[in-house]
Amino acid sequence: MKKRLYTSVLAAILILSLFTSVAYAETVTNSNVEIVQRMVEETNASIAQDVAIAQDVADRIIAIFGDNFITRYIVARIIDSLEAKTNAKAHATMQAAAELGIEVRCEIEVFIVGGQKAYIDPLYVISD
**Model confidence at 11, in pLDDT bands (50, 70, 90)?**
low
Residue 120: alpha-carbon gap to chain centroid:
13
DSSP 67: S
Beta strands in 1-128 (DSSP E): 103-106, 109-113, 116-120, 123-127
Mean pLDDT, rounded, for 19-30: 52
Structural domain containing residue 17: 2-127
Question: SS3 for 128?
Answer: coil
Which residue would you say has higher pLDDT here, 102 or 124? 102
In the chain, the number of structural domains is 1
Question: Is 5 a residue whose pLDDT tops 80?
Answer: no
Residues whose CB falls within 8 Å of the CB of residue 76, separated by 6 or more in sequence, listed in order: 116
Q: What is the pLDDT of residue 116?
A: 94
Using alpha carbons, list the distances in angstroms from residue 88 to 81, 91, 115, 122: 11, 5, 24, 12
User: Which of 55-64, 105-114, 119-128 has maximum average pLDDT?
Assistant: 55-64
Q: pLDDT digits over 38-72, tens only?
A: 999 999 999 999 999 999 999 999 999 999 999 99
Q: What is the pLDDT of residue 126?
A: 72
**Model confidence at 122, in pLDDT bands (50, 70, 90)?**
confident
Q: Look over the chain and give the mean of its residue pLDDT values, rounded to a whole number.
A: 83
Q: What is the pLDDT of residue 23?
A: 47
Question: Is 24 a residue whose pLDDT tops 70?
Answer: no
